[in-house]
Protein backbone atom coordinates (compact mmCIF):
# COMPACT_ATOMS: atom_id res chain seq x y z
CA UNK A 1 0.00 0.00 0.00
CA UNK A 2 1.37 3.36 -0.98
CA UNK A 3 0.38 4.94 2.30
CA UNK A 4 2.27 2.38 4.30
CA UNK A 5 5.43 3.38 2.52
CA UNK A 6 5.07 6.97 3.61
CA UNK A 7 7.86 7.92 5.99
CA UNK A 8 6.25 7.86 9.41
CA UNK A 9 8.73 10.22 11.07
CA UNK A 10 7.48 13.32 9.26
CA UNK A 11 3.77 12.71 9.67
CA UNK A 12 1.65 15.61 10.80
CA UNK A 13 -2.02 16.48 11.03
CA UNK A 14 -2.45 16.77 7.24
CA UNK A 15 -0.84 13.45 6.38
CA UNK A 16 -2.73 11.54 9.03
CA UNK A 17 -6.01 13.15 8.03
CA UNK A 18 -5.31 12.22 4.42
CA UNK A 19 -4.58 8.62 5.38
CA UNK A 20 -7.82 8.43 7.39
CA UNK A 21 -9.87 9.96 4.58
CA UNK A 22 -8.50 7.45 2.12
CA UNK A 23 -9.03 4.58 4.62
CA UNK A 24 -12.66 5.46 5.32
CA UNK A 25 -13.41 6.15 1.64
CA UNK A 26 -12.04 2.76 0.68
CA UNK A 27 -13.93 1.05 3.51
CA UNK A 28 -17.22 2.68 2.48
CA UNK A 29 -16.56 2.43 -1.25
CA UNK A 30 -17.03 6.16 -1.81
CA UNK A 31 -14.89 8.94 -3.28
CA UNK A 32 -12.48 10.70 -0.94
CA UNK A 33 -14.21 14.02 -1.67
CA UNK A 34 -17.31 12.65 0.03
CA UNK A 35 -15.52 12.23 3.36
CA UNK A 36 -16.01 15.15 5.72
CA UNK A 37 -13.15 15.31 8.23
CA UNK A 38 -15.40 16.98 10.80
CA UNK A 39 -18.20 14.38 10.59
CA UNK A 40 -18.36 11.76 13.32
CA UNK A 41 -17.29 8.22 12.47
CA UNK A 42 -20.75 6.77 13.05
CA UNK A 43 -21.88 8.82 10.01
CA UNK A 44 -19.63 6.56 7.96
CA UNK A 45 -21.22 3.47 9.45
CA UNK A 46 -18.14 2.32 11.36
CA UNK A 47 -19.10 -0.32 13.90
CA UNK A 48 -16.98 -1.64 16.77
CA UNK A 49 -15.29 -4.28 14.60
CA UNK A 50 -14.26 -1.64 12.05
CA UNK A 51 -13.04 0.54 14.91
CA UNK A 52 -10.81 -2.30 16.14
CA UNK A 53 -9.49 -2.99 12.64
CA UNK A 54 -8.77 0.72 12.11
CA UNK A 55 -6.86 0.98 15.39
CA UNK A 56 -4.84 -2.11 14.45
CA UNK A 57 -3.95 -0.66 11.05
CA UNK A 58 -3.01 2.65 12.66
CA UNK A 59 -0.73 0.85 15.12
CA UNK A 60 0.99 -0.91 12.26
CA UNK A 61 1.37 2.27 10.23
CA UNK A 62 2.37 4.66 13.01
CA UNK A 63 4.24 2.16 15.18
CA UNK A 64 2.63 3.40 18.36
CA UNK A 65 -0.12 2.17 20.72
CA UNK A 66 -3.64 3.05 19.58
CA UNK A 67 -6.62 2.02 21.72
CA UNK A 68 -9.34 -0.03 19.95
CA UNK A 69 -11.84 2.46 21.41
CA UNK A 70 -9.94 5.50 20.10
CA UNK A 71 -12.59 6.67 17.61
CA UNK A 72 -15.18 6.91 20.38
CA UNK A 73 -13.02 9.36 22.33
CA UNK A 74 -11.83 11.22 19.22
CA UNK A 75 -14.89 10.84 17.02
CA UNK A 76 -13.95 12.76 13.84
CA UNK A 77 -11.06 12.37 11.41
CA UNK A 78 -9.78 15.82 12.36
CA UNK A 79 -9.85 15.12 16.09
CA UNK A 80 -8.43 11.63 15.73
CA UNK A 81 -5.54 12.90 13.60
CA UNK A 82 -4.81 15.59 16.16
CA UNK A 83 -4.84 13.01 18.94
CA UNK A 84 -2.49 10.73 17.02
CA UNK A 85 -0.06 13.58 16.40
CA UNK A 86 0.02 14.20 20.16
CA UNK A 87 0.46 10.51 20.98
CA UNK A 88 3.33 10.18 18.51
CA UNK A 89 5.02 13.32 19.81
CA UNK A 90 4.79 11.97 23.36
CA UNK A 91 6.15 8.63 22.18
CA UNK A 92 9.07 10.31 20.39
CA UNK A 93 9.96 12.27 23.51
CA UNK A 94 9.62 9.20 25.72
CA UNK B 1 -42.14 -34.32 35.66
CA UNK B 2 -39.52 -36.23 37.60
CA UNK B 3 -36.58 -34.58 39.31
CA UNK B 4 -34.33 -35.96 36.60
CA UNK B 5 -36.45 -34.56 33.78
CA UNK B 6 -36.51 -31.24 35.52
CA UNK B 7 -32.77 -31.19 35.80
CA UNK B 8 -32.43 -32.00 32.14
CA UNK B 9 -34.92 -29.28 31.24
CA UNK B 10 -33.04 -26.70 33.29
CA UNK B 11 -29.67 -27.80 32.01
CA UNK B 12 -30.85 -27.26 28.47
CA UNK B 13 -31.64 -23.62 29.28
CA UNK B 14 -27.96 -22.77 29.70
CA UNK B 15 -25.03 -23.11 27.32
CA UNK B 16 -24.07 -26.77 26.81
CA UNK B 17 -20.79 -28.33 27.93
CA UNK B 18 -19.85 -28.51 24.25
CA UNK B 19 -20.40 -24.77 23.82
CA UNK B 20 -18.33 -24.00 26.92
CA UNK B 21 -15.54 -26.30 25.77
CA UNK B 22 -15.56 -24.72 22.31
CA UNK B 23 -14.25 -21.55 23.94
CA UNK B 24 -12.43 -22.52 27.12
CA UNK B 25 -10.79 -25.76 25.97
CA UNK B 26 -8.96 -24.08 23.11
CA UNK B 27 -5.52 -24.28 24.71
CA UNK B 28 -4.40 -23.61 28.28
CA UNK B 29 -1.01 -22.48 26.94
CA UNK B 30 -2.69 -19.97 24.63
CA UNK B 31 -4.72 -18.41 27.46
CA UNK B 32 -1.60 -18.37 29.67
CA UNK B 33 0.13 -16.15 27.10
CA UNK B 34 -2.18 -13.22 27.69
CA UNK B 35 -4.20 -13.75 30.89
CA UNK B 36 -1.09 -13.22 32.97
CA UNK B 37 0.32 -15.08 35.93
CA UNK B 38 -2.99 -15.47 37.81
CA UNK B 39 -4.76 -17.16 34.84
CA UNK B 40 -7.91 -15.29 35.79
CA UNK B 41 -10.33 -14.84 32.88
CA UNK B 42 -12.66 -12.12 34.17
CA UNK B 43 -12.61 -8.41 34.97
CA UNK B 44 -10.06 -7.35 37.57
CA UNK B 45 -10.68 -4.74 40.28
CA UNK B 46 -8.27 -1.89 39.73
CA UNK B 47 -6.82 0.65 42.10
CA UNK B 48 -4.38 3.35 41.02
CA UNK B 49 -0.96 1.93 40.32
CA UNK B 50 -2.09 -1.72 40.06
CA UNK B 51 -0.62 -4.04 37.50
CA UNK B 52 -2.87 -6.78 36.09
CA UNK B 53 -1.84 -9.46 38.59
CA UNK B 54 -2.41 -7.14 41.58
CA UNK B 55 -5.81 -6.05 40.24
CA UNK B 56 -6.82 -9.68 39.67
CA UNK B 57 -5.89 -10.67 43.23
CA UNK B 58 -7.81 -7.61 44.48
CA UNK B 59 -10.85 -8.90 42.58
CA UNK B 60 -10.50 -12.38 44.09
CA UNK B 61 -10.27 -10.86 47.57
CA UNK B 62 -13.29 -8.64 46.88
CA UNK B 63 -15.43 -11.72 46.19
CA UNK B 64 -14.00 -13.81 49.01
CA UNK B 65 -14.61 -10.94 51.46
CA UNK B 66 -18.13 -10.43 50.10
CA UNK B 67 -18.83 -14.14 50.53
CA UNK B 68 -17.44 -13.92 54.07
CA UNK B 69 -14.87 -16.63 53.39
CA UNK B 70 -12.80 -17.40 56.48
CA UNK B 71 -11.31 -20.13 58.58
CA UNK B 72 -13.38 -23.28 58.13
CA UNK B 73 -15.79 -21.96 55.49
CA UNK B 74 -17.28 -24.51 53.10
CA UNK B 75 -16.97 -22.58 49.85
CA UNK B 76 -18.34 -23.25 46.38
CA UNK B 77 -17.23 -21.52 43.24
CA UNK B 78 -19.48 -21.94 40.21
CA UNK B 79 -17.35 -21.56 37.10
CA UNK B 80 -13.91 -21.85 38.65
CA UNK B 81 -11.82 -21.25 35.54
CA UNK B 82 -8.23 -22.24 36.11
CA UNK B 83 -8.65 -22.16 39.89
CA UNK B 84 -7.14 -18.84 40.98
CA UNK B 85 -9.97 -18.03 43.41
CA UNK B 86 -10.01 -21.51 44.96
CA UNK B 87 -6.29 -21.31 45.56
CA UNK B 88 -6.61 -17.84 47.09
CA UNK B 89 -9.47 -19.04 49.32
CA UNK B 90 -7.29 -21.80 50.74
CA UNK B 91 -3.97 -19.98 51.00
CA UNK B 92 -5.07 -16.51 52.13
CA UNK B 93 -8.48 -17.08 53.73
CA UNK B 94 -7.89 -20.53 55.19
CA UNK B 95 -11.25 -21.90 54.12
CA UNK B 96 -11.91 -25.46 55.19
CA UNK B 97 -12.98 -26.67 51.79
CA UNK B 98 -13.11 -25.03 48.38
CA UNK B 99 -15.16 -26.78 45.71
CA UNK B 100 -15.01 -25.50 42.15
CA UNK B 101 -17.31 -26.43 39.28
CA UNK B 102 -16.36 -26.04 35.64
CA UNK B 103 -17.65 -27.41 32.36
CA UNK B 104 -14.24 -27.00 30.75
CA UNK B 105 -12.23 -30.19 30.66
CA UNK B 106 -8.99 -28.30 30.01
CA UNK B 107 -9.59 -26.04 33.02
CA UNK B 108 -10.28 -28.97 35.32
CA UNK B 109 -7.11 -30.71 34.15
CA UNK B 110 -5.02 -27.59 34.73
CA UNK B 111 -6.24 -27.21 38.28
CA UNK B 112 -5.61 -30.86 39.00
CA UNK B 113 -1.89 -30.27 38.60
CA UNK B 114 -1.40 -27.84 41.47
CA UNK B 115 -4.31 -28.32 43.80
CA UNK B 116 -4.26 -28.38 47.60
CA UNK B 117 -6.06 -31.26 49.30
CA UNK B 118 -8.70 -28.79 50.50
CA UNK B 119 -9.54 -27.89 46.90
CA UNK B 120 -11.87 -30.06 44.85
CA UNK B 121 -12.48 -29.29 41.18
CA UNK B 122 -15.41 -31.00 39.54
CA UNK B 123 -16.18 -31.21 35.84
CA UNK B 124 -19.87 -30.66 36.44
CA UNK B 125 -22.67 -28.15 36.00
CA UNK B 126 -24.21 -26.64 39.13
CA UNK B 127 -27.49 -28.10 37.82
CA UNK B 128 -26.14 -31.61 38.43
CA UNK B 129 -24.07 -30.87 41.54
CA UNK B 130 -25.38 -32.49 44.72
CA UNK B 131 -23.23 -31.40 47.65
CA UNK B 132 -23.16 -33.51 50.81
CA UNK B 133 -23.02 -30.44 53.02
CA UNK B 134 -24.66 -27.08 52.27
CA UNK B 135 -22.24 -24.30 51.40
CA UNK B 136 -21.53 -21.31 53.65
CA UNK B 137 -20.34 -19.21 50.76
CA UNK B 138 -20.97 -19.27 47.01
CA UNK B 139 -18.95 -17.27 44.52
CA UNK B 140 -19.52 -17.13 40.78
CA UNK B 141 -17.36 -14.92 38.61
CA UNK B 142 -17.87 -14.80 34.88
CA UNK B 143 -20.17 -17.83 34.61
CA UNK B 144 -23.64 -16.29 34.81
CA UNK B 145 -23.05 -15.18 31.20
CA UNK B 146 -23.58 -18.82 30.19
CA UNK B 147 -26.69 -19.62 32.26
CA UNK B 148 -29.16 -18.72 29.51
CA UNK B 149 -28.86 -19.94 25.97
CA UNK B 150 -29.22 -17.50 23.11
CA UNK B 151 -32.68 -17.64 21.59
CA UNK B 152 -34.68 -18.31 24.76
CA UNK B 153 -37.89 -16.37 25.27
CA UNK B 154 -37.88 -13.70 27.98
CA UNK B 155 -39.77 -15.98 30.36
CA UNK B 156 -37.55 -18.99 29.70
CA UNK B 157 -34.49 -16.85 30.31
CA UNK B 158 -35.96 -15.58 33.55
CA UNK B 159 -36.73 -19.14 34.59
CA UNK B 160 -33.16 -20.23 33.91
CA UNK B 161 -31.86 -17.45 36.16
CA UNK B 162 -34.46 -18.14 38.83
CA UNK B 163 -33.45 -21.77 38.88
CA UNK B 164 -29.87 -20.75 39.56
CA UNK B 165 -30.82 -18.75 42.66
CA UNK B 166 -33.16 -21.49 43.83
CA UNK B 167 -30.34 -23.97 43.49
CA UNK B 168 -28.02 -21.70 45.47
CA UNK B 169 -30.70 -21.29 48.12
CA UNK B 170 -31.33 -24.99 48.52
CA UNK B 171 -27.66 -25.84 48.64
CA UNK B 172 -26.47 -23.17 51.03
CA UNK B 173 -26.47 -22.98 54.81
CA UNK B 174 -28.26 -20.41 56.96
CA UNK B 175 -26.57 -17.04 56.75
CA UNK B 176 -24.75 -17.97 53.55
CA UNK B 177 -23.32 -15.15 51.48
CA UNK B 178 -23.22 -14.99 47.72
CA UNK B 179 -20.88 -13.00 45.50
CA UNK B 180 -21.53 -12.79 41.78
CA UNK B 181 -19.84 -11.12 38.87
CA UNK B 182 -21.31 -11.05 35.39
CA UNK B 183 -21.24 -9.09 32.20
CA UNK B 184 -24.67 -7.55 31.68
CA UNK B 185 -26.33 -5.81 28.75
CA UNK B 186 -26.47 -2.08 29.25
CA UNK B 187 -27.04 0.25 26.27
CA UNK B 188 -27.70 -2.73 24.01
CA UNK B 189 -30.49 -3.80 21.69
CA UNK B 190 -31.23 -7.51 22.16
CA UNK B 191 -33.29 -7.45 18.98
CA UNK B 192 -30.16 -6.65 17.03
CA UNK B 193 -27.46 -8.97 18.42
CA UNK B 194 -23.84 -8.91 17.32
CA UNK B 195 -23.30 -12.23 15.47
CA UNK B 196 -19.56 -12.09 16.06
CA UNK B 197 -20.07 -12.46 19.82
CA UNK B 198 -22.10 -15.63 19.22
CA UNK B 199 -19.21 -16.95 17.15
CA UNK B 200 -16.76 -16.43 20.03
CA UNK B 201 -19.09 -17.53 22.84
CA UNK B 202 -21.46 -20.03 21.24
CA UNK B 203 -24.97 -20.44 22.65
CA UNK B 204 -24.58 -17.81 25.34
CA UNK B 205 -26.83 -14.83 26.00
CA UNK B 206 -26.16 -12.13 28.59
CA UNK B 207 -28.41 -11.08 31.45
CA UNK B 208 -29.54 -7.60 32.33
CA UNK B 209 -28.91 -6.40 35.87
CA UNK B 210 -32.67 -6.19 36.40
CA UNK B 211 -33.05 -9.87 35.42
CA UNK B 212 -30.46 -10.96 37.97
CA UNK B 213 -32.13 -8.86 40.66
CA UNK B 214 -35.59 -10.23 39.81
CA UNK B 215 -34.33 -13.80 39.79
CA UNK B 216 -32.85 -13.52 43.29
CA UNK B 217 -35.87 -11.82 44.86
CA UNK B 218 -37.20 -13.46 48.01
CA UNK B 219 -34.24 -15.84 48.15
CA UNK B 220 -31.23 -13.59 48.53
CA UNK B 221 -31.06 -10.05 49.83
CA UNK B 222 -28.80 -7.94 47.65
CA UNK B 223 -26.53 -5.91 49.87
CA UNK B 224 -24.30 -4.25 47.29
CA UNK B 225 -24.14 -3.75 43.54
CA UNK B 226 -21.21 -2.30 41.66
CA UNK B 227 -21.22 -1.54 37.96
CA UNK B 228 -17.60 -1.59 36.86
CA UNK B 229 -17.46 -1.53 33.08
CA UNK B 230 -14.31 0.61 33.02
CA UNK B 231 -12.60 -2.09 35.12
CA UNK B 232 -13.38 -4.64 32.43
CA UNK B 233 -12.24 -2.29 29.65
CA UNK B 234 -8.93 -1.86 31.48
CA UNK B 235 -8.55 -5.61 32.02
CA UNK B 236 -9.29 -6.30 28.36
CA UNK B 237 -6.76 -3.66 27.30
CA UNK B 238 -4.10 -5.49 29.31
CA UNK B 239 -5.05 -8.83 27.68
CA UNK B 240 -5.19 -7.24 24.23
CA UNK B 241 -1.72 -5.73 24.58
CA UNK B 242 -0.32 -9.00 25.94
CA UNK B 243 -1.87 -11.06 23.16
CA UNK B 244 -0.51 -8.73 20.47
CA UNK B 245 2.90 -8.76 22.12
CA UNK B 246 2.83 -12.58 22.05
CA UNK B 247 1.51 -12.79 18.51
CA UNK B 248 4.07 -15.25 17.14
CA UNK B 249 3.78 -17.66 20.06
CA UNK B 250 -0.02 -17.42 19.95
CA UNK B 251 -0.20 -18.15 16.22
CA UNK B 252 2.09 -21.12 16.76
CA UNK B 253 -0.36 -22.53 19.32
CA UNK B 254 -3.74 -21.86 17.73
CA UNK B 255 -3.10 -20.75 14.15
CA UNK B 256 -3.57 -17.46 12.34
CA UNK B 257 -7.38 -17.54 12.07
CA UNK B 258 -8.00 -18.21 15.76
CA UNK B 259 -5.41 -15.64 16.76
CA UNK B 260 -7.17 -13.05 14.58
CA UNK B 261 -10.56 -14.00 16.05
CA UNK B 262 -9.32 -13.48 19.61
CA UNK B 263 -7.57 -10.22 18.81
CA UNK B 264 -10.78 -8.94 17.24
CA UNK B 265 -12.97 -10.23 20.08
CA UNK B 266 -10.84 -8.58 22.77
CA UNK B 267 -10.86 -5.33 20.78
CA UNK B 268 -14.62 -5.40 20.23
CA UNK B 269 -15.23 -6.07 23.93
CA UNK B 270 -12.92 -3.17 24.87
CA UNK B 271 -15.14 -0.93 22.77
CA UNK B 272 -18.32 -2.44 24.23
CA UNK B 273 -17.28 -1.81 27.83
CA UNK B 274 -15.73 1.55 27.03
CA UNK B 275 -18.86 2.97 25.42
CA UNK B 276 -21.31 1.17 27.72
CA UNK B 277 -22.96 -1.30 25.38
CA UNK B 278 -22.29 -3.80 28.14
CA UNK B 279 -21.53 -3.39 31.82
CA UNK B 280 -19.92 -5.46 34.54
CA UNK B 281 -22.07 -6.18 37.56
CA UNK B 282 -20.62 -7.30 40.87
CA UNK B 283 -23.38 -8.30 43.23
CA UNK B 284 -23.12 -9.24 46.91
CA UNK B 285 -26.09 -10.93 48.54
CA UNK B 286 -27.05 -12.82 51.66
CA UNK B 287 -29.44 -15.69 52.02
CA UNK B 288 -32.92 -14.86 53.32
CA UNK B 289 -33.20 -17.62 55.89
CA UNK B 290 -36.83 -17.04 56.89
CA UNK B 291 -38.66 -15.98 53.75
CA UNK B 292 -42.20 -14.71 54.26
CA UNK B 293 -43.26 -16.39 51.04
CA UNK B 294 -42.65 -20.10 50.75
CA UNK B 295 -39.71 -20.88 48.55
CA UNK B 296 -40.84 -23.21 45.81
CA UNK B 297 -38.93 -24.44 42.88
CA UNK B 298 -40.21 -22.96 39.68
CA UNK B 299 -41.18 -25.98 37.66
CA UNK B 300 -40.36 -25.86 33.99
CA UNK B 301 -43.90 -26.92 33.09
CA UNK B 302 -45.41 -24.14 35.20
CA UNK B 303 -44.99 -21.63 32.40
CA UNK B 304 -47.44 -23.60 30.27
CA UNK B 305 -50.16 -22.78 32.78
CA UNK B 306 -49.60 -19.03 32.67
**Does B30 reach chain A within 8 Å, measured CB to CB?**
no
Q: What does the mean pLDDT of chain B come to?
A: 90
Taking residues B285-292, what's their average pLDDT?
Answer: 94
Is pLDDT at B114 greater than 80 in this prediction? no
pLDDT of residue B199: 79
Which of A40 and A10 is assigned the larger pLDDT? A40
B193 to chain A, any CB pair closer than 8 A? The answer is no
Measuring CA to CA, which residue among B256, B105, B65, B285 is closest to residue B182? Answer: B285
The string of pLDDT tens digits covering residues B79-105 is 999 999 999 999 999 999 999 999 998
Rounded Cα–Cα distance for residues A91 and B195 (Å): 37
Q: Tell me how close the Cα of B97 comes to any Cα of chain A, in angstroms.
A: 42
Determine contact: A3 vs chain B, CB below 8 A: no
Mean pLDDT lowest for which of A4-13, A73-82, B135-144, B214-223?
A: A4-13
Cα separation of B286 and B295, whole Å? 15
| DSSP secondary structure, B31-45, as one string | HHHHHTTTT--S---
Predicted confidence (pLDDT) per residue in B224-274, tens digit: 999 999 999 999 999 999 999 999 999 999 999 999 999 999 999 999 999
pLDDT of residue A94: 57
Tell which wins on pLDDT, B99 or B1.
B99
Tell me if chain B has a CB within 8 Å of the CB of A76: no
| B91 phi/psi in degrees, rounded to 5 | -80, -40
Report the pLDDT averaged over residues A13-20.
97
Task: Write out pLDDT tens, residues B128-178.
Answer: 999 989 999 999 999 999 999 888 999 999 999 999 999 999 999 999 999
- Give the pLDDT of residue B250: 97
Q: Is B112 on the interface with A (CB under 8 A)?
A: no
Task: Residue B45: count other Cβ atoms within 10 Å of its Cβ.
Answer: 22
What pLDDT shows up at residue A53?
A: 96
Give the chain A residue nearest B245 (alpha carbons).
Answer: A65
pLDDT at B217: 96
Characterize B5-22 residue by residue with b for buried, 16 or more Cβ atoms within 10 angstroms of its Cβ, and e for exposed: ebbebbbebbbbbebbbb
- B interface test, pick of A46, A53, A60, A69 with most B CB neighbours within 10 Å: A69
| Cβ–Cβ pairs < 8 A, chains A and B | 38
pLDDT above 70: percentage of residues in chain B: 91
Distance from CA of B113 to the nearest CA of A (A): 36
| Partner residue facing B272 (CB), from A48, A55, A56 | A48
Confidence of residue B296 (pLDDT cuts 50, 70, 90): low
Quote the pTM value.
0.90
Lowest mean pLDDT among A32-41, A63-72, B23-32, B294-303: B294-303
Residue A15: predicted pLDDT: 96
Task: Return the residue of B nearest to A64 by Cα.
Answer: B241
CB contact under 8 A, B271 and A56: no
Taken in order B184, B188, B191, B192, the sign of the CA dihedral is negative
pLDDT of residue B13: 85
Mean pLDDT within B278-282: 97
Write the CB contacts of B38 (distance below 8 Å, at least 6 apart in sequence). B52, B53, B56, B57, B60, B84
Q: How confident is the model at residue B304 (pLDDT cuts 50, 70, 90)?
A: very low
Residue A55 contacts B where some CB pair is shorter than 8 Å: yes
What is the per-residue pLDDT for B11? 57
Per the model's pLDDT, the better-predicted residue between A94 and B215 turns out to be B215
Amino acid sequence: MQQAEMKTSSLGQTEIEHWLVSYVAQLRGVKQEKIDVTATFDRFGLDSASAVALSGDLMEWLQCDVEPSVIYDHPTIRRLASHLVTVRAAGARG
Amino acid sequence: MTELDMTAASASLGASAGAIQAHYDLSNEFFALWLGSTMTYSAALWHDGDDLATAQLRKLDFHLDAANARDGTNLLEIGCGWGSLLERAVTKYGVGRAVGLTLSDAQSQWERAARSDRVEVRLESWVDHAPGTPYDAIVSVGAFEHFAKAGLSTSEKQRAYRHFFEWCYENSAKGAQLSLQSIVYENYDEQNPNPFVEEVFPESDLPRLSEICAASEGLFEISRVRNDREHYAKTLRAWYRALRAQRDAAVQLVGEATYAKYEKYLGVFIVGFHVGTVNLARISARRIDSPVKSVRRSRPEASLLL
